[in-house]
Structure 1
Amino acid sequence: MSKTTPARVLIVTTSTPSYERAGYRTGLWLGELTHFWDVLEKDGHHLTIASVDGGQVPIDPESLSAPVLAMGGTKKRYEDTGFMSILDDTASLDDVASDGWDAVYLTGGHGTMFDFPYNPVLADLLVTTYEAGGIVAAVCHGPAGFVGATGSDGNPLIAGKKVTGFSWPEEKLAGRDKVVPFRLDHALKEEGATYTKALRPMAEKVVRDGTLVTGQNPTSAEGVGKAVAKLLAKSR
C-alpha cells in the first residue's frame, strides 16, 4: 500500500463489439485493463471503470486466448468472478465525465478505433483533466481517443507532445490492417504529436511527456500503470 493519498482514477473502455468491414469480434483488450488495474490498486487508489455507452463491456476474444491470458496475471483476474462482474454493468461515459478525476486512462482493443475518436464527451473529459493538471494516459489503440480532442487554446490536445500507440507493423502482424478504419500512427501525427515506436513489434514502450503517458501495445500496459503511479505519488 502506498503512503500517498488515494487518487480518483477513471478507466475508460470501448463499447464496440465488432468491426464495420468484417465479422471479427472486438472490444476491450482485457490485459490492458488488468495490468494497469493491478499496479494502481496496489497503491490504494480508487478505480472506476466506465464504457462509452455503459452496460456490459465487450471483450476482444483474441485477448482471452491461453497464451495472452498467461501474461502478467490476466488469467487470475479473468477467473475472479468479483472482478469480472464489474464489466457486466459499467457506468456510461456521460454519467461520470464531469465528476472530476485525478487521472484518466484509456484502455485499448480495436473497438476504441470506432467509438473513441471525435467523441465529444471523451474529448472534453481528456482536455478538462489535462488542463486542470491531472494525468491523461492511454495504451495500444486507446490513444485513438486523442483524435479530435481540442484544447482550450484551439489546438489539438496532443499537438507538440511525444506519444506512442499501436504501430502499423503491429497492425499487420495482427491481421487487422485491412479492416481498421484508419492508421492510428498517422492520425496521431496529424494531430501534431511526435509519434515513436519500439524497434521490435510488440516490445514494451512507454512514453511520458509531462502528465501525458502513452504505451504502444498490450505489453506496455503495466509500464503505463507504473508511470501513472509515479506521477500520482509526486502530486499527492
Structure 2
Amino acid sequence: MDPMYKVLIVCTSHTLYPRKSHKTGLWLSEVTHFCDELTDRNLPFDIASPAGGSIPIDEKSVDRRDTTNEKWSHNPVFQQKMANSIPLSDIDPKQYQILYLAGGHGSLWDFPQNEALQAITRQIYERGGMVAAVGHGVSGLLNVTLSDGTSLIENRQVTGFANVEEKIARLDDQVPFLLEDKLREKTSLYSKGLIPFLTHIEVDDRLVTGQNPLSARKVGRKVLEEMYEK
C-alpha cells in the first residue's frame, strides 16, 4: 500500500425516531474527533452516506463546549463534504484503504441492510485495508460477509453502543434493535467498558471498533497506529 492512505467516512442519512419529536442522525463528535486524528498525517478523506447530500446531525450532539466540534465547524473543506456527502452507490472502494463507520442512532436504520455499504466494507477489508466503526456505526458490520461466505465479525473482538447506555439515554424503546444484543447474536466476541459512556475500543487484526462517542478519537489513533507503525 502507498504510505499516503485515503479514508472513507460513512455517516447516516436517517433522521426520524418512531415516537420522539426531536430528530436523530449523526453524533457529531464521532466524526470530528476522528477527523482530528487524521490531520496529524494530512490524510485525505471523503464523506459518504446512504442517500448522499447533507448529513443530518443529531441536535443533542451539537455541543459548542466541545472544542473539537467548534474547530471543525469553521473548517470549510469539512463543512463542504458534510453538506455534499457522496452516495454510497457512487463509491469506488479501490480508492480507499481506511473505512470508518460513524454512529449516531440514525445508523441503526440505514446501515445494517445496506448492500452497497456491505460491498464497500468487504472490498476494502479484503484488499488489506482497515475497517473501523464507533458507537451505533458498528451496526454497519452486522451483515457483512466476506468472499468465502463467512461473517466479518464472527468470532472477532468487537464493541459497540451498550444496552445500559441505550437505557440511560432512554432510547431503548425507540431503536429498531439493541446493538449489543445483535452483536452477541452474531457470535462476535462482544465486550464493553465497566463504566458506561467512557472510552472503550477493541482491536482484532484490521478491525477496530469503539463503544460510544467518547471512543472515536482513540479509534482514530489506533487505526493510524495499525496502518503506519506495524
Identify the TM-score tier after normalising by the shorter chain.
over 0.9
Contact 2:94–2:124 (Cα < 8 Å) also in 1: no
Return the match for 2:142 from 144, 147, 151: 147
Q: State how 1:25-104 maps to structure 2 within 5 Å.
A: 25-65=23-63, 69-71=64-66, 73-104=68-99
Return the match for 2:205 from 194, 210, 213: 210
Contact 2:9–2:101 (Cα < 8 Å) also in 1: yes
Runs of 4+ in 1 over 4 A off after TM superposition: none
Q: CA deviation at 1:81?
A: 4.6
Q: CA deviation at 1:103?
A: 0.7
The SS at the match of 2:216 is helix
Q: CA deviation at 1:71?
A: 3.2
Contact 2:29–2:61 (Cα < 8 Å) also in 1: yes
Return the match for 1:118 from 110, 113, 118: 113
Q: CA deviation at 1:147?
A: 1.6
Residues 1:50 and 1:211: Cα distance change in structure 2 (over 3 Å): same
Residues 1:164 and 1:72: Cα distance change in structure 2 (over 3 Å): farther
The reply to whether residue 182 of structure 1 matches residue 180 of structure 2 is no
Question: 1:111-158: CA deviations, max 9, x gaps?
Answer: 000000021110111111112211000001000001211112212110
Q: Given residue 41 of structure 1, which amino acid in structure 2 is its aligned partner?
A: T
The SS at the match of 1:158 is coil
The reply to whether residue 233 of structure 1 matches residue 215 of structure 2 is no
Question: 1:168-195: CA deviations, max 9, x gaps?
Answer: 1111111111100001011111222111
State which drifts further: 76-85 or 170-179: 76-85
Contact 1:205–1:217 (Cα < 8 Å) also in 2: yes
Q: Given residue 54 of structure 1, which amino acid in structure 2 is its aligned partner?
A: G
Residues 1:82 and 1:150: Cα distance change in structure 2 (over 3 Å): closer
Percent pairwise identity: 40
Q: Given residue 214 of structure 2, which amino acid in structure 1 is its aligned partner?
A: T
Q: CA deviation at 1:100?
A: 3.5
Unmatched tracts of structure 1, length 5 or more:
none
Q: CA deviation at 1:217?
A: 0.5
The SS at the match of 2:229 is helix
Return the match for 2:128 from 114, 120, 133: 133
Q: CA deviation at 1:72?
A: 5.4
The SS at the match of 1:40 is helix
State which drifts further: 215-224 or 143-152: 143-152
- TM-score, structure 1 length as denominator? 0.92
Return the match for 2:166 from 165, 171, 174: 171
- TM-score, structure 2 length as denominator? 0.94
Whole-Å Cα distance in 2 between the matches of residues 24 and 198 of structure 1? 28
Unmatched tracts of structure 2, length 5 or more:
none
Q: Given residue 174 of structure 2, which amino acid in structure 1 is its aligned partner?
A: V
Work out the number of aligned pairs and report it: 229
Aligned alpha-carbon RMSD (Å): 1.6
